[in-house]
Structures are given as C-alpha cells and as structure tokens.
Amino acid sequence: MLTWEFSAQDLARTRFARSPLCELTTSVEVLKDPGRRAVHLPWVRRARRELAGVQWELLSQLVRLPTVYVPDFLTPVPADSSPALADQLAELTALDPAAVRRDLDRIGGELPPLVAELYADPAAGTRRLAAEARTYWQAAIAPHWGRIERLAEGEILRRARQLAASGPAGLFADLHPSVGWERDLLRIGHRHLEEHRRLDGARGLVLVPTVFAWPGVFSQLNPPWQPGLVYPPRGVATLWESAAPAPDGLARVLGRARARLLAELDAPASTTELAARTGLSAPTVSHHLSALHDAGLAARHRTGRTVLYLRTAAAELLCGAGGSG
C-alpha cells in the first residue's frame, strides 16, 4: 500500500497529463503477457502482425515479467500536459548517463545482455532505445493513436467535471478499485510497496490516464520525476469494439439509433468515429447528437479541432435503467 499525504497546495497543483511514451511502454507489457489483459487482445493480434520484422529487443528486455519495476526513464511523468513522442524520446537520449544507470540499478539481479550494454554505454544505448521506440510506435501504436488519445481526453474532461462538482473526493472517486481517497490521504493498493509519503507542496500529483495500463495502476515515486499515478481511463473495454448494443428499453423510447449512440458514449467520441462504429452516416449521427445534446443527454466538448460527445449524468441513469428491461 502506498499512501500519499496531500496539503492544500498539493491539491491545487494536482494536474493531468498524457504520455505517448508511457502508452508505448505499457503496451510492451501487454504484448508480452496478453493473458492478463484480455480486453486488449484485438490490439495484440493486430500489433503482432504489424511488428513482424521490427526490432524491439531492448524494449522487450527492459520491460520484464513479472513487472515489479520498469526503469523510470521509460515512464517519465510529463512536464507538459500533452507532449509528443518525439519530444519525450529527445529527452530520453539527452539523459545524464548517471541517471540511466541509477534507474537500471533499481532492477536488481543480473541484467539481460542488451540492458547490460545500455548500462555500459548509456549514450549509445538510449539512442538505440529511442530508434526502437520510434519504429515500434509507427507499427503498433500510431494507427490507433487518435482513438487512444480521444479516450484519454474524455477521461480528463470527465474527471474535471467530477472535481468541479464534488472536490477531491469526486476527482478520485471510481478512479480505480485499488485507489481510495479519505480526508487528505490518497491510498493506492500496490502489492509490492508499503510506504507513506508526503507530497512536498510545490509540485502536486500528476494523473496520467493510460489505456495499456489496464487493469493495473502504477506510481512514479523517484526523483527527479514529479510524483505521478498512471491508471486506465474509463471506457478501455470499448476501445477495440466496433459497436455497442442499444439497450432495448431505451430504444423503445428514444429510437434505436439514438439509444445506440448513447450506448457508445460510455467513452467520449467524435461524430466521425461514431459514424464508423455504427454504420450511420456522419450527417445522421450529427443530427441525433444535436437532439441528444438539446435534451440534456449528451455533453459536447471541443479539444483542438475535434468535438467530443459524452453521456451526461442523466443519460447514465437512463442507460442503466434501459438495459435492465
């Protein structure tokens, strides 16, 4: 069990960030042990085909099973809210060799051959690691990144709404079964860790929604990185599905198309994505979403050039009731 003790300043500085490098690293664990992460099996099958002939042995040796510790330089807490993978890889190759060796020392035991080479020559090793990460990303992650990114953006929007409505208790409510908030303490049920730490009041905690973290959570504890919590966003189970079924009871009231769209909006989605999933035309989806929005059943949020739709609290109640009939 890890316990973080918050001050008012820590809460004020708690923020969200997305991390392409963290997604990449956790996806390696999924590929190496898909049996414990069945929700990602459709991605695993595709990724294995796309990775045929791709060199990623150093990445594989750094993410060992069972996963007790992955070097912090592969899961850095982002200083910005949404860094590009290229920026994170540039930071990786610019690391002080002493910092690389410090992380590798935390692995313990005999290092695998390529990791031992990285330890002996961190500058050359991090360049190789960055090159592997780029080719791995293009083959396995890039084709799905838009959808992954929208799921993380939707999670951040949802949590911000909960924070505004209910404060820190709302922010951390149902974040993950192993995470609980009580007064000024955040408890995280890690099996291999028993610590009580105080946040220093100057940096807060960074929450990093990461789809390939499912079903676990991971904490970043070690300086100089900012304290962080990597957790799976809500809706991961829908990520690789083509369409969600419409609750029969709700379909009889709203019509099957609108009920089906509400079922899809368990996770935020754009008009284009909903059209692809449901087989409806984009103008038809847009028409139904406007009606759902006007009825208070769908919230609308703009992120850059994309408009995401998300079920409201009233729609959550309707979907729950509609599926029980």
| Structural domain boundaries in the chain | 2-236, 248-321
Confidence bin at 59 (pLDDT 50/70/90): very high
CA-nearest of 154, 157, 183 to 169 is 183
How far is CA 124 from each of CA 6, 33, 131, 325, rounded to the nearest angstrom? 40, 29, 11, 62
Mean pLDDT of 16-41: 94
Residue 74 has pLDDT above 90, yes or no: yes
DSSP-derived secondary structure letter, 246 = P
> How many Cβ atoms sit within 10 Å of the Cβ of residue 178?
16
Kindly give the interhelix angle for 113-120 and 97-105, rounded to the nearest 10 degrees: 140
Mean pLDDT of 85-101: 97
- Give 28-43 as a 3 state SS string: HHHHHCHHHCHHHHHH
Q: Contact 223/213 with Cβ under 8 angstroms?
A: no
Percentage of residues of the chain with pLDDT beyond 90: 51
Confidence bin at 58 (pLDDT 50/70/90): very high
CA-nearest of 278, 304, 228 to 72 is 228
Mean pLDDT of 144-163: 86
Cα 150 vs. chain centroid, distance in angstroms? 10
pLDDT of residue 242: 59
pLDDT of residue 41: 92
Kindly give the interhelix angle for 20-32 and 41-50, rounded to the nearest 10 degrees: 90
Residue 324 has pLDDT above 50, yes or no: no
How many residues would you count in the chain? 325
Pairwise CA distance, residues 308 & 124, whole Å: 42
Pick the most confident of 145-149, 211-215, 319-323.
211-215
Residue 305 has pLDDT above 60, yes or no: yes
Pairwise CA distance, residues 99 & 122, whole Å: 9
pTM for the whole structure: 0.77
Strand partners, 308: 301
Output the CATH code of domain 248-321: 1.10.10.10
pLDDT of residue 243: 55
Positive/negative CA dihedral, 207, 211, 215, 216 = negative
Instruction: Return the ∠ at Cα 209 (arms to 85 and 230), rounded to 5°.
Output: 90
Cα 304 vs. chain centroid, distance in angstroms? 19
Pairwise CA distance, residues 203 & 77, whole Å: 12
Mean pLDDT of 183-199: 87
Percentage of residues of the chain with pLDDT beyond 70: 95
Residue 201 has pLDDT above 80, yes or no: no
| Least confident range of 107-111, 250-254, 286-290 | 250-254
Residue 151 has pLDDT above 60, yes or no: yes
What is the greatest pairwise CA distance in the chain? 67
Q: Contact 261/205 with Cβ under 8 angstroms?
A: no
